[in-house]
Protein backbone atom coordinates (compact mmCIF):
# COMPACT_ATOMS: atom_id res chain seq x y z
CA UNK A 1 0.00 0.00 0.00
CA UNK A 2 1.47 3.38 -0.98
CA UNK A 3 1.49 6.51 1.15
CA UNK A 4 -1.09 8.09 -1.16
CA UNK A 5 -3.44 5.15 -0.59
CA UNK A 6 -2.87 5.40 3.13
CA UNK A 7 -3.69 9.11 3.14
CA UNK A 8 -6.87 8.49 1.11
CA UNK A 9 -8.07 5.75 3.45
CA UNK A 10 -7.29 7.84 6.53
CA UNK A 11 -9.17 10.91 5.27
CA UNK A 12 -12.62 9.83 6.59
CA UNK A 13 -11.18 9.08 9.98
CA UNK A 14 -9.67 12.55 10.23
CA UNK A 15 -12.97 14.12 9.19
CA UNK A 16 -14.78 12.56 12.16
CA UNK A 17 -14.20 10.26 15.16
CA UNK A 18 -14.78 6.56 14.38
CA UNK A 19 -16.04 4.20 17.07
CA UNK A 20 -15.37 0.42 16.93
CA UNK A 21 -17.08 -2.29 18.99
CA UNK A 22 -16.14 -5.99 19.07
CA UNK A 23 -18.66 -8.55 17.82
CA UNK A 24 -18.56 -12.33 17.32
CA UNK A 25 -17.82 -11.85 13.61
CA UNK A 26 -15.35 -8.92 13.88
CA UNK A 27 -15.96 -5.23 14.54
CA UNK A 28 -18.74 -2.73 14.03
CA UNK A 29 -17.37 0.71 13.08
CA UNK A 30 -19.37 3.92 12.83
CA UNK A 31 -18.81 7.67 13.02
CA UNK A 32 -20.11 9.90 15.79
CA UNK A 33 -21.40 12.23 13.10
CA UNK A 34 -23.44 9.47 11.42
CA UNK A 35 -24.05 6.75 14.03
CA UNK A 36 -26.75 5.12 11.93
CA UNK A 37 -24.23 4.19 9.19
CA UNK A 38 -22.38 1.08 10.44
CA UNK A 39 -19.58 -0.80 8.67
CA UNK A 40 -18.56 -4.43 9.31
CA UNK A 41 -14.81 -5.07 9.62
CA UNK A 42 -13.59 -8.70 9.64
CA UNK A 43 -10.34 -10.65 9.47
CA UNK A 44 -10.58 -13.82 7.36
CA UNK A 45 -7.20 -15.27 8.37
CA UNK A 46 -5.27 -13.68 5.53
CA UNK A 47 -6.42 -10.07 5.29
CA UNK A 48 -8.74 -7.51 6.75
CA UNK A 49 -11.98 -6.74 4.91
CA UNK A 50 -14.66 -4.03 5.15
CA UNK A 51 -17.98 -3.56 3.45
CA UNK A 52 -17.47 0.17 2.78
CA UNK A 53 -17.36 1.65 -0.71
CA UNK A 54 -13.72 2.73 -0.34
CA UNK A 55 -12.54 -0.81 0.40
CA UNK A 56 -14.61 -2.27 -2.46
CA UNK A 57 -12.83 0.08 -4.89
CA UNK A 58 -9.41 -1.26 -3.71
CA UNK A 59 -10.44 -4.87 -3.21
CA UNK A 60 -7.82 -6.10 -5.67
CA UNK A 61 -5.04 -4.71 -3.42
CA UNK A 62 -4.60 -7.28 -0.63
CA UNK A 63 -2.51 -4.81 1.41
CA UNK A 64 -5.05 -2.02 1.32
CA UNK A 65 -6.73 -0.87 4.52
CA UNK A 66 -9.58 1.62 4.61
CA UNK A 67 -10.21 4.05 7.48
CA UNK A 68 -12.53 1.58 9.21
CA UNK A 69 -9.93 -1.25 9.14
CA UNK A 70 -7.23 1.16 10.37
CA UNK A 71 -9.50 2.01 13.32
CA UNK A 72 -9.26 -1.58 14.66
CA UNK A 73 -5.91 -2.61 13.08
CA UNK A 74 -3.63 0.43 12.59
CA UNK A 75 -0.16 0.07 11.08
CA UNK A 76 2.38 -0.35 13.92
CA UNK A 77 4.86 1.88 12.05
CA UNK A 78 5.38 3.65 8.75
CA UNK A 79 6.57 0.49 6.96
CA UNK A 80 3.24 -0.58 5.51
CA UNK A 81 4.59 -3.37 3.34
CA UNK A 82 6.09 -5.30 6.28
CA UNK A 83 3.38 -4.65 8.80
CA UNK A 84 2.38 -7.97 10.45
CA UNK A 85 -1.16 -9.35 10.03
CA UNK A 86 -2.90 -11.25 12.82
CA UNK A 87 -3.01 -14.99 12.20
CA UNK A 88 -0.74 -14.93 9.14
CA UNK A 89 1.59 -17.68 10.31
CA UNK A 90 3.83 -15.68 12.70
CA UNK A 91 4.60 -17.15 16.04
CA UNK A 92 2.60 -14.42 17.73
CA UNK A 93 -0.23 -12.48 16.14
CA UNK A 94 -0.18 -8.73 16.33
CA UNK A 95 -2.51 -7.76 19.14
CA UNK A 96 -5.45 -5.61 18.31
CA UNK A 97 -5.16 -2.47 20.41
CA UNK A 98 -7.58 -2.25 23.26
CA UNK A 99 -10.39 0.14 22.55
CA UNK A 100 -12.29 2.17 25.08
CA UNK A 101 -15.85 1.00 25.72
CA UNK A 102 -17.97 2.20 22.88
CA UNK A 103 -20.50 4.77 23.93
CA UNK A 104 -23.94 4.14 22.56
CA UNK A 105 -24.89 6.61 19.87
CA UNK A 106 -26.82 9.54 21.18
CA UNK A 107 -30.43 8.99 20.30
CA UNK A 108 -31.96 12.14 19.05
CA UNK A 109 -35.36 12.91 20.43
CA UNK A 110 -37.80 12.56 17.62
CA UNK A 111 -40.13 15.47 17.23
CA UNK A 112 -43.73 14.34 17.18
CA UNK A 113 -44.96 14.41 13.64
CA UNK A 114 -48.41 15.74 13.12
CA UNK A 115 -50.75 13.58 11.14
CA UNK A 116 -50.79 14.48 7.48
CA UNK A 117 -54.46 13.53 7.26
CA UNK A 118 -53.91 10.41 5.19
CA UNK A 119 -56.83 8.03 5.59
CA UNK A 120 -57.56 4.65 3.98
CA UNK A 121 -61.21 4.00 3.07
CA UNK A 122 -62.52 0.52 2.18
CA UNK A 123 -65.96 0.09 0.59
CA UNK A 124 -67.60 -3.34 0.37
CA UNK A 125 -70.89 -3.84 -1.44
CA UNK A 126 -72.89 -7.08 -1.40
CA UNK A 127 -75.45 -7.66 -4.15
CA UNK A 128 -77.36 -10.90 -4.69
CA UNK A 129 -78.20 -12.09 -8.22
CA UNK A 130 -81.92 -11.59 -7.67
CA UNK A 131 -81.41 -8.04 -6.39
CA UNK A 132 -83.00 -8.71 -2.99
CA UNK A 133 -79.75 -8.08 -1.10
CA UNK A 134 -77.91 -4.81 -1.77
CA UNK A 135 -75.81 -3.68 1.20
CA UNK A 136 -72.83 -1.35 1.69
CA UNK A 137 -70.02 -1.64 4.24
CA UNK A 138 -67.71 1.35 4.88
CA UNK A 139 -64.39 1.05 6.75
CA UNK A 140 -61.95 3.88 7.54
CA UNK A 141 -58.38 3.31 8.75
CA UNK A 142 -56.01 6.01 10.06
CA UNK A 143 -52.96 6.20 12.30
CA UNK A 144 -53.48 7.61 15.80
CA UNK A 145 -50.09 6.84 17.40
CA UNK A 146 -48.80 10.43 17.22
CA UNK A 147 -51.95 12.38 18.09
CA UNK A 148 -53.64 13.26 21.36
CA UNK A 149 -56.86 11.80 22.72
CA UNK A 150 -58.74 14.98 21.86
CA UNK A 151 -57.51 14.78 18.28
CA UNK A 152 -58.57 11.12 18.07
CA UNK A 153 -62.08 12.01 19.23
CA UNK A 154 -62.29 14.85 16.73
CA UNK A 155 -61.16 12.61 13.85
CA UNK A 156 -63.63 9.89 14.91
CA UNK A 157 -66.55 12.37 14.92
CA UNK A 158 -65.63 13.71 11.48
CA UNK A 159 -65.21 10.16 10.14
CA UNK A 160 -68.66 9.11 11.39
CA UNK A 161 -70.20 12.21 9.79
CA UNK A 162 -68.49 11.34 6.49
CA UNK A 163 -69.77 7.74 6.68
CA UNK A 164 -73.28 9.11 7.27
CA UNK A 165 -73.07 11.22 4.09
CA UNK A 166 -71.78 8.27 2.01
CA UNK A 167 -74.56 5.99 3.28
CA UNK A 168 -77.15 8.68 2.51
CA UNK A 169 -75.96 8.94 -1.11
CA UNK A 170 -76.02 5.13 -1.42
CA UNK A 171 -79.60 4.92 -0.15
CA UNK A 172 -80.74 7.60 -2.60
CA UNK A 173 -79.10 5.81 -5.54
CA UNK A 174 -80.62 2.46 -4.59
CA UNK A 175 -84.08 3.48 -3.42
CA UNK A 176 -86.70 1.04 -4.79
CA UNK A 177 -88.66 2.65 -7.63
CA UNK A 178 -92.39 3.16 -7.39
CA UNK A 179 -94.33 0.28 -8.96
CA UNK A 180 -95.35 0.98 -12.52
CA UNK A 181 -99.13 0.90 -13.00
CA UNK A 182 -100.61 -1.26 -15.73
CA UNK A 183 -101.49 0.95 -18.67
CA UNK A 184 -105.13 0.88 -19.63
CA UNK A 185 -106.84 2.79 -22.44
CA UNK A 186 -109.16 5.60 -21.42
CA UNK A 187 -112.82 4.64 -21.76
CA UNK A 188 -115.17 7.40 -22.80
CA UNK A 189 -118.09 8.02 -20.47
CA UNK A 190 -121.50 6.95 -21.81
CA UNK A 191 -123.73 9.68 -23.16
CA UNK A 192 -126.56 8.67 -20.86
CA UNK A 193 -125.64 7.88 -17.29
CA UNK A 194 -127.44 4.90 -15.86
CA UNK A 195 -127.62 4.45 -12.11
CA UNK A 196 -126.02 1.26 -10.91
CA UNK A 197 -126.47 -0.26 -7.54
CA UNK A 198 -123.54 -2.66 -7.84
CA UNK A 199 -120.43 -2.99 -10.03
CA UNK A 200 -121.08 -4.62 -13.36
CA UNK A 201 -119.04 -7.78 -14.08
CA UNK A 202 -116.47 -7.73 -16.85
CA UNK A 203 -117.49 -9.13 -20.27
CA UNK A 204 -117.86 -12.88 -20.15
CA UNK A 205 -115.11 -13.60 -22.65
CA UNK A 206 -112.46 -12.24 -20.21
CA UNK A 207 -113.91 -13.08 -16.81
CA UNK A 208 -111.96 -16.29 -16.32
CA UNK A 209 -114.55 -18.80 -17.49
CA UNK A 210 -111.85 -20.94 -19.10
CA UNK A 211 -112.75 -20.14 -22.71
CA UNK A 212 -109.94 -18.62 -24.81
CA UNK A 213 -110.44 -15.18 -26.32
CA UNK A 214 -108.66 -13.28 -29.05
CA UNK A 215 -105.55 -11.34 -27.99
CA UNK A 216 -102.37 -9.86 -29.43
CA UNK A 217 -98.82 -10.07 -28.06
CA UNK A 218 -97.64 -6.48 -28.63
CA UNK A 219 -93.96 -6.22 -27.56
CA UNK A 220 -91.29 -7.10 -24.98
CA UNK A 221 -90.75 -4.73 -22.03
CA UNK A 222 -88.74 -4.58 -18.80
CA UNK A 223 -90.44 -3.36 -15.64
CA UNK A 224 -88.72 -2.31 -12.42
CA UNK A 225 -90.38 -4.16 -9.60
CA UNK A 226 -89.82 -4.59 -5.89
CA UNK A 227 -87.21 -7.28 -6.43
CA UNK A 228 -85.46 -5.79 -9.46
CA UNK A 229 -86.07 -5.63 -13.22
CA UNK A 230 -88.40 -8.22 -14.77
CA UNK A 231 -89.13 -9.12 -18.40
CA UNK A 232 -92.74 -9.07 -19.57
CA UNK A 233 -94.89 -9.23 -22.71
CA UNK A 234 -97.45 -6.45 -23.16
CA UNK A 235 -100.72 -8.10 -24.21
CA UNK A 236 -103.88 -6.49 -25.56
CA UNK A 237 -107.07 -8.47 -24.81
CA UNK A 238 -110.35 -7.10 -26.17
CA UNK A 239 -109.46 -3.47 -25.53
CA UNK A 240 -107.77 -4.12 -22.18
CA UNK A 241 -104.05 -4.35 -21.37
CA UNK A 242 -102.30 -7.10 -19.50
CA UNK A 243 -98.78 -8.42 -19.01
CA UNK A 244 -97.13 -11.82 -18.96
CA UNK A 245 -94.12 -11.83 -16.63
CA UNK A 246 -91.25 -14.31 -16.71
CA UNK A 247 -87.63 -14.97 -17.67
CA UNK A 248 -86.43 -14.73 -21.27
CA UNK A 249 -86.83 -18.51 -21.61
CA UNK A 250 -90.38 -18.44 -20.22
CA UNK A 251 -91.44 -15.58 -22.51
CA UNK A 252 -89.91 -17.36 -25.52
CA UNK A 253 -91.98 -20.43 -24.55
CA UNK A 254 -95.18 -18.33 -24.38
CA UNK A 255 -94.44 -16.86 -27.80
CA UNK A 256 -93.92 -20.40 -29.11
CA UNK A 257 -97.34 -21.37 -27.69
CA UNK A 258 -98.82 -18.59 -29.83
CA UNK A 259 -97.35 -20.34 -32.86
CA UNK A 260 -94.20 -18.23 -33.37
CA UNK A 261 -90.58 -19.10 -32.63
CA UNK A 262 -88.11 -16.62 -31.13
CA UNK A 263 -84.81 -17.56 -29.46
CA UNK A 264 -84.56 -16.67 -25.76
CA UNK A 265 -81.28 -14.88 -26.49
CA UNK A 266 -83.19 -12.44 -28.72
CA UNK A 267 -85.67 -11.48 -26.00
CA UNK A 268 -84.91 -7.85 -25.13
CA UNK A 269 -86.89 -4.72 -24.17
CA UNK A 270 -88.40 -2.95 -27.17
CA UNK A 271 -88.68 -6.09 -29.35
CA UNK A 272 -91.84 -5.62 -31.42
CA UNK A 273 -94.05 -8.75 -31.70
CA UNK A 274 -97.60 -7.85 -32.83
CA UNK A 275 -98.55 -11.55 -32.80
CA UNK A 276 -102.25 -12.59 -32.81
CA UNK A 277 -103.13 -15.48 -30.51
CA UNK A 278 -105.72 -16.81 -28.07
CA UNK A 279 -105.47 -16.55 -24.30
CA UNK A 280 -107.39 -17.47 -21.19
CA UNK A 281 -107.63 -14.72 -18.59
CA UNK A 282 -108.55 -14.17 -14.99
CA UNK A 283 -109.16 -10.86 -13.15
CA UNK A 284 -106.96 -10.04 -10.17
CA UNK A 285 -108.42 -10.42 -6.68
CA UNK A 286 -109.16 -6.69 -6.44
CA UNK A 287 -110.57 -6.57 -9.98
CA UNK A 288 -108.15 -3.84 -11.09
CA UNK A 289 -105.99 -5.91 -13.43
CA UNK A 290 -106.44 -8.63 -16.01
CA UNK A 291 -104.09 -11.59 -15.72
CA UNK A 292 -103.24 -13.85 -18.66
CA UNK A 293 -103.21 -17.47 -17.56
CA UNK A 294 -102.43 -19.42 -20.76
CA UNK A 295 -101.51 -18.73 -24.38
CA UNK A 296 -102.72 -20.74 -27.42
CA UNK A 297 -102.13 -20.51 -31.16
CA UNK A 298 -104.81 -18.64 -33.07
CA UNK A 299 -105.87 -21.64 -35.23
CA UNK A 300 -105.52 -24.36 -32.62
CA UNK A 301 -107.57 -23.31 -29.63
CA UNK A 302 -108.67 -25.96 -27.08
CA UNK A 303 -112.34 -26.73 -26.76
CA UNK A 304 -113.35 -26.16 -23.17
CA UNK A 305 -111.18 -26.71 -20.15
CA UNK A 306 -107.72 -25.34 -19.41
CA UNK A 307 -104.79 -26.87 -21.22
CA UNK A 308 -101.14 -25.87 -21.22
CA UNK A 309 -98.96 -24.62 -18.36
CA UNK A 310 -99.87 -21.58 -16.29
CA UNK A 311 -98.03 -18.36 -16.99
CA UNK A 312 -96.89 -16.55 -13.84
CA UNK A 313 -98.35 -13.13 -13.32
Per-residue model confidence as pLDDT tens for the chain (313 residues) = 444 444 444 444 444 688 888 988 899 999 888 888 899 999 888 888 999 999 999 888 888 889 998 988 887 755 444 443 443 433 333 344 444 555 555 555 555 545 445 677 777 788 777 667 778 788 887 777 778 889 888 988 988 888 888 888 888 887 766 666 555 555 555 565 555 555 544 443 444 567 889 899 999 998 887 878 889 999 999 888 899 988 999 999 999 998 888 899 999 999 999 999 999 988 888 878 888 989 999 886 555 444 333 333 3
Confirm if 235 and 243 have CB atoms less than 8 A apart: yes
Provide φ and ψ at 155, rounded to 5°.
-65, -40
247 vs 264: CA distance, rounded Å: 9
Burial of 108 from C-beta contacts in 10 A (0-12 / 13-18 / 19+): exposed
pTM over the 0.85 mark:
no
What is residue 13's three-state secondary structure?
helix
Confirm if 98 and 55 have CB atoms less than 8 A apart: no
Amino acid sequence: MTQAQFDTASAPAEAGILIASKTEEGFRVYSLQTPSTIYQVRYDGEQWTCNCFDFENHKSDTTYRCAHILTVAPWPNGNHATAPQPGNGHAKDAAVPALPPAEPPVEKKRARKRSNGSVVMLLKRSVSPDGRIDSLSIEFSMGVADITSAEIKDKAAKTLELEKEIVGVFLKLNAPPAPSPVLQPTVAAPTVAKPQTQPQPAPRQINGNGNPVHARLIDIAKVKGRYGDRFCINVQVNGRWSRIFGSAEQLAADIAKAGHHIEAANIEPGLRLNLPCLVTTKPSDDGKYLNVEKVFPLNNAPKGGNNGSAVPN
